[in-house]
Amino acid sequence: MRDNRRYVLGAVLLAFALFLGACGSGGDDDDSGDAGGGDGSKGSVTVGSDSFPEAQIVGEMYALVLENAGFEVERQLDIQSREVRLPAMESGEIDVAPEYVASLLSVVDPEADLTGDATEVAERLTAPLQEKGLEILTPSAAIDTNAFAVTQETAGEFGLVTMSDLADVAGDMVLGAPTECPDRPFCIPGLKETYGVEFREFKELEYGAATVQALQAGAVDVGLIFSTDPLVSENELVVLDDDKSLQSADNIVPLVSSELPQEAKDLLDEVSATLTTEEITDLNRRVAIDLEDAADVAREFLEGKGLL
């Protein structure tokens, strides 16, 4: 949150100016139909999100409810990755962003135990986030976890149903995943430790369409996708069962500056209370497949929930 002291000073100066104006003018030509002055802003908030559709949709929801309540909102909804966004949040450049509880914990506290219980994971985030001047709010019911997918042809050829099935064949395969995969415990390190899976080659790919296209073209054999990505069912991909629970509770949650006003936090929690896995998957489809604008989709959703 940017320094709110300037808004306090601004309010004092504005009140003084209005007082002088009231004393100095009483003519009929006064055209100040918006008496009271100012734009009613409650302060400036920068909302950020990573650059994939789901994060942009939820980030836009956050921005819209804050604007609707009178906050001045700046949007940065195309950030390359969490590794870029988190330092910006620590420095105060970004105040609010959608996050995923387990993935966030794996980054801020790599030694922490991850579970499938969102409440437990959220509690373990409290201390490491406090050190950064950040906090998470109430996790939503919407879960978007990481998953590994193959084409139906690959699944049939190698008898792939579960992640454990990859152990004997991955040495001849190429994994496609985002740049940070070699360093993330849910990705290459976790695959080796939990499943004994080591791929012949790793190819850097963005989430979503790029990974799906690479799978279909045979450029990669296994791709890391989001479980709520509508491209999975649209392209009839096979998601391998995480039979040893490598992935944890990745509920969508607002990550915010600790200095964010309580009113803003309450508004973000109201958004979270409306989100479900089924609905966020449908919103993703509308943006990723139907090519609707993320801002339009977010606004329509919020209006339907009575939040705008």
Task: Return the higher-pLDDT residue of 120 and 256.
Answer: 256
Query: Rounded to 5 degrees, what are φ and ψ at 39?
Result: -105, 5
pLDDT recorded at residue 214: 97
Q: What is the pTM of this model?
A: 0.72
Q: Answer whether 97's CB lies under 8 Å from 49's CB.
A: yes
Model confidence at 147: pLDDT above 70: yes
Cα-based angle 173, 175, 178 (whole degrees, multiple of 5)? 170
For the residues 187-201, what does the mean pLDDT come to?
95
Rounded to whole angstroms, how far apart are CA atoms 202 and 179?
Answer: 10
Least confident of 28-37, 59-68, 249-258: 28-37
pLDDT grade for 209, boundaries at 50, 70 and 90: confident
Q: What is the pLDDT of residues 272-301, one digit of tens each?
A: 999 999 899 999 999 989 999 999 999 999
The per-residue pLDDT for 94 is 98
Topology of 146-239 in CATH? D-Maltodextrin-Binding Protein; domain 2 (3.40.190)
Q: What phi, psi does 90 have (nearest 5°)?
A: -60, -35
**83 or 214, greater pLDDT:** 214
Collect all residues with Cβ–Cβ distance below 8 Å to 33 and sequence separation of at least 6: none
Asked, colleague to colleague, whether 42-143+250-304 and 146-239 share their fold, the answer is yes
**Sorting pLDDT into bands at 50, 70 and 90, what band is 208?**
confident
Give the integer Cα–Cα distance in Å for 301 and 275: 10
pLDDT band per the 50, 70, 90 thresholds, residue 79: very high
pLDDT for position 9: 36
Confidence of residue 226 (pLDDT cuts 50, 70, 90): confident
Sequence ranges of the domains in the chain: 42-143+250-304, 146-239
Mean per-residue pLDDT, 198-219: 94
pLDDT of residue 161: 97
Average pLDDT, the chain: 87
6-57 tens-digit pLDDT: 333 343 333 333 333 444 433 344 433 332 334 567 999 999 999 989 999 9
Looking at residue 72, its pLDDT comes to: 97
The pLDDT of residue 40 is 64
Mean pLDDT of all residues in 148-175:
97
Q: What is the CATH number of domain 42-143+250-304?
A: 3.40.190.10
Among the listed ranges 3-7, 173-177, 200-204, which one has the minimum average pLDDT value? 3-7
Strand ranges in 28-121 using DSSP code E only, listed in sequence order: 44-50, 72-79, 96-100
Q: What's the confidence (pLDDT) of residue 5? A: 32
Rounded average pLDDT over 242-247? 88
